Amino acid sequence: MQFHIHYSRYVSESLSGVLLLLTLLLSSCGVDGSHFKIEGHLLNINQSEFYVYAENGSVDGLDTIHVEGGRFAYEVPCKHSTILYLVFPNYSVVPIFAQPGKSVSIKGDASHLKEIEIKGTDDNELYTKFREQVSKASPPEAKRAAEVFIGDHPESVVGLWLIKKHFISDALPDYQTALRLAKKMQSKQTDQADLSRMILQLNSMSHVGVGSVLPTFSAYDTKGRLVSSSDFSSGLAVICTWASWSYDSMDMLRTLKQLQRQSGGRLKVVSLSVDASRSDCDGALHADSISWSNVCDGKMFDSQPLRQLGMMGVPDNIIVKDNRIVARNLMGMQLHDKIMALLK
């Protein structure tokens, strides 16, 4: 009888131990092989929400991540390495490098989002180290560091973001260097669809550089009016990309609105929204009393006019005079001063 009691207790304790072990193993697995998971804990934020999107459409439009008690979790289908973009409440954008079957943790202070720590995959940890390395670097120094990084890590999807940030979405874009670096990466990432798409776009950028004739394009704006390249055959105009969730792009629209008013009608503006939601787009324009032609087809970065014009980010802009591109991707005072000079 005593043996039976001890044996039962032994079995019970053993089963409890096995169940505990299984629980720990299951929780450590985190995510299956066809998904990617983000978990985070941010200080100085309690209840809030921010957004996530992917330029390649792997996220359906603009998705919402809810924050409760400073904590959040998000899981998304993931079949290959790609880049997700988190848009925080202050409109700052942070890239997250997703891999199938992997997860990352985000920790930091919501009031210092540039210093958040992302751990869990080699790519995200490599990028965290790169951010720390260039945190006090000048733009030319950061660009050189990005080129060195891609040379050292051509197999990393981080290079896609660095090419876009430092060689394409720049006041002085360097498409030749961007193409050279992208091709170097392609030798190590032969099945990376996002990289192939970037190379295809960069190969066509010679036709949309400064001094080029504006490429042929056409689209219907949100009021059903046709907008086409023939509208820019004479005079001064700006074609720009924007989104309701991008503070920098909204600031650009306000600058252009002021410049258009100062021009006395001589400056034409057409905006291309990368919003997934037409209502979000219309609401933002209405709030700022912007009435010029705006295109929003809900396809975000896969919109045909963006591809035809070689516009690969937000915010972005092309300044056109008499059907020729005279400047690209100017922001703030650079944009203001260039337009004012062209209006003289």
Q: What is the pLDDT of residues 103-116, one digit of tens each?
A: 999 999 988 887 88
* Phi, psi dihedrals of residue 82, rounded to the nearest 5°: -155, 180
Contact 338, 319 (CB under 8 A): yes
Spatial separation of the C-alpha atoms in residues 246 and 136, rounded to whole Å? 24
Residue 170 or 139, more confident: 139
pLDDT, tens digit (0-9, with 9 covering 90-100), for 292-341: 999 999 888 888 899 889 888 889 999 999 999 999 889 999 999 999 99
pLDDT at residue number 28: 43
Q: Give whichever of 172-181, 263-272, 310-319 has the largest mean pLDDT.
A: 263-272
Give residue 209's pLDDT: 81
Q: Give Cα 297 distance to the centre of its chain.
A: 18
pLDDT for the residue numbered 201? 84
Smallest Cα–Cα separation from 221: which of 305, 294, 308?
A: 294
Query: What share of the chain in percent tops pLDDT 90?
Result: 61
Mean pLDDT of 237-250: 93
Q: Which residue has the higher pLDDT, 90 or 254?
A: 254
Give the residue, 212 or 9, on which the prediction is more confident: 212
Q: What is the pLDDT of residue 149?
A: 97
Adjacent-strand bridge partners of 97:
83
| 245 SS3 class | coil
Q: How far is CA 130 from CA 34, 83, 88, in A?
A: 28, 16, 21
Indicate the helix (H) or strand (E) that contains 116.
none
pLDDT, one tens digit per residue, over 145-169 is 999 999 999 999 999 999 999 998 8
For the cut 60, the answer to whether the pLDDT of residue 16 exceeds it is no
Average pLDDT of the segment spanning 112-141: 91
Contact 317, 252 (CB under 8 A): yes
pLDDT of residue 75: 94
Write down the pTM of the prediction: 0.77
Pairwise CA distance, residues 87 & 213, whole Å: 35
pLDDT at 239: 97
Top-confidence residue, 116 or 58: 116
Contact 85, 93 (CB under 8 A): yes
Distance of alpha carbon 333 from its chain centroid, rounded?
Answer: 23
Local confidence band at 57 (pLDDT 50, 70, 90 cut-offs): confident
How far, in whole angstroms, is CA 129 from its chain's centroid? 20
Give residue 121's pLDDT: 93
DSSP state, residue 279: H
Strands (E), the chain: 35-43, 48-53, 63-67, 71-77, 82-87, 93-98, 103-109, 117-119, 218-220, 226-228, 236-242, 267-273, 294-295, 316-321, 324-328
In the numeric block, the tokens 């045909």 are attached to: 304
